[in-house]
Amino acid sequence: MSQCFALVAGEASGDILGAGLIKALKKQYPNARFVGIGGPKMIAEGFETLYPMERLSVMGLFEVLGRLRELLKIRKNLFKTLLDMKPDVFIGIDAPDFTLALERKFKDEGIKAVHYVSPSVWAWREKRVFNIKKSVHMVLCLFPFEVAFYHKHGVPAVCVGHTLADAIDLETDTHGARQQLGLAQDRPIMAMLPGSREGEVARLGDVFIDAANLIRQKIPNIQFVIPAANEERKSQLLALLEQKELSGVTLLDGQSREAMAAADTVLLASGTATLEAMLLKKSMVVSYKLSSLTAFFVFRMLKQPFVSLPNLLAGKELVPELLQDNATPEKLASACLKLLQSEDGLKSMQAEFLALHKGIRLNADQAAAEAIRELITAS
């Protein structure tokens, strides 16, 4: 009898992970059926999606409340349909608010349940781990420090590494990236990534540009590169650049990885981009600003001393973090200048980044498929 794998991915990043996992599972189970909710990349691997993945891609509290009835109906009908198929395993890919409840229902029915991509329970709202423990047979983690947290709470967990670590070479071709973007090879370059959302750019964009003006006073020939996530962010950034009178900036349509690869130093908003910068072996200054009310609650709930992935992976401060009131043009400029002018510090940081890269370069798709195979065959 051929195997049946039920999967649910709620957004584009989950679709990428799901497609890689399906591709790896097909090597072990060539006649298997893959069904649930997924996006175009999963569908291209032969996946059957029962609902458009876009129906699950909801951002923001009020948007979720407005769609809550529909989401609950989808979850209820999806569970019934998949249960009738008697899948060998149910795999929820990220989207914990939607998938964890499904995982618990399948587990209660005696079907193996897996959650792929750990929620940030190690950082805040730690008590969520008890719900995860009741809901799953196994968590597939992207980072080693997450596994230690789950094991402490008696939750089976495996580190499968990160697909970005597999995709990015251990050595970065800075010369080639500069050539591709039409940037000078013999001038210092700093990439600035103030975020992809309107609110992030509104809070960080002008601060980053003010910092850039201060840096240019010290290094007149420096080049600045800013990748814009979309046309809206591009218009927003252009308005800021004109207002702040920062000239000599290359504003890109996307191409954030190329921008970071071309740079000597990166000034960026906290998020997945910090992991990408680390994998590219780039020195960086990490910043973030929340609204005052949100920051009041978030910083009181945080369980970790760091927010950036390089520091969390290292378990120490490898890269400077300047958050909230510390995210001033003067402090950001000073931190960036220190990195731009310190060759010894850069080499030390790059050596640490290389070790961290190797630690999460585990062929994530294959590692995840192998962990799932072992879970199935152990029963």
Residue 103 tokens read as 């995982």
Share of the chain above pLDDT 70, in %: 91
Mean pLDDT of 312-323: 93
Q: Are residues 181 and 276 in the same domain?
A: yes
Give yes or no: residues 10 and 111 share one domain: yes
Confidence at residue 62, expressed as pLDDT on a 0 to 100 scale: 46
Residue 125 covered by a domain: yes
- The count of residues in the chain is 379
On whether both 13 and 108 belong to a single domain, the answer is yes
Closest CA to 121 of 149, 148, 151, 142: 149
Residues 6+ apart with CB under 8 A from 206: 240, 243, 244
Identify whether 152 is part of a domain. yes
Check residue 196 and give its pLDDT.
Answer: 83
Q: Supply the mean pLDDT for the chain.
A: 90
What does the alpha-carbon distance between residue 225 and residue 253 come to, in Å, rounded to a whole number? 11
pLDDT at 310: 94
pLDDT of residue 1: 62
Number of domains observed in the structure of the chain = 2
Q: Which position has the higher pLDDT, 201 or 296?
A: 201
Categorize the per-residue pLDDT at 204 as very low, low, confident or very high, splitting at 50, 70 and 90.
very high
Residue 56's pLDDT is what?
Answer: 79
Q: 154 and 63: one domain?
A: yes
Residue 110 sits in the same domain as residue 178 = no
Evaluate whether 368 touches 140 at the Cβ level (below 8 Å). Answer: yes
Q: Is 169 a member of any domain?
A: no
Residues 113 and 149 in one domain: yes
In a domain? residue 291: yes
CA distances 248 to 28, 213, 242, Å, are 53, 11, 11
pLDDT at 297: 58
Residue 145 sits in the same domain as residue 185: no
| pLDDT value, residue 294 | 62
| pLDDT tens profile 343-369 | 777 888 899 999 999 999 999 999 999
Q: Which domain holds residue 331?
A: 174-359
Residues 311 and 353 occupy one common structural domain: yes
Beta carbons of 207 and 332 less than 8 angstroms apart: yes
- In the chain, the DSSP E strands lie at 4-9, 33-37, 48-49, 89-93, 112-116, 138-141, 157-159, 189-193, 223-228, 249-253, 265-269, 283-288, 321-323
Is 166 a domain residue? no
Span 178-199, average pLDDT: 93
For residue 53, being part of any structural domain is answered with yes
The predicted model gives 313-342 an average pLDDT of: 94
Could you tell me if residue 149 is inside a domain?
A: yes
Do 285 and 143 share a domain, yes or no? no
Q: Is 53 helix (H, G, I), strand (E, B) or coil?
A: helix
Are 115 and 184 within one domain?
A: no
pLDDT reading at 206 higher than 80: yes
Residues 237 and 183 in one domain: yes
Let me know whether 16 and 155 are in one domain: yes
Domain assignment present for 349: yes
Q: Would you place residue 59 in the very low, low, confident or very high pLDDT band (cuts 50, 70, 90)?
A: very low
Return phi, psi of residue 70, to 5°: -65, -45
Cα(142)–Cα(159) distance, rounded to whole angstroms?
Answer: 6
Cβ burial of 238 (10 Å; 0-12, 13-18, 19+) is middle
CATH, residue 125: 3.40.50.2000
pLDDT band, residue 276 (cuts 50/70/90) = very high
pLDDT grade for 135, boundaries at 50, 70 and 90:
very high
Residue 298 confidence (pLDDT) above 70: no
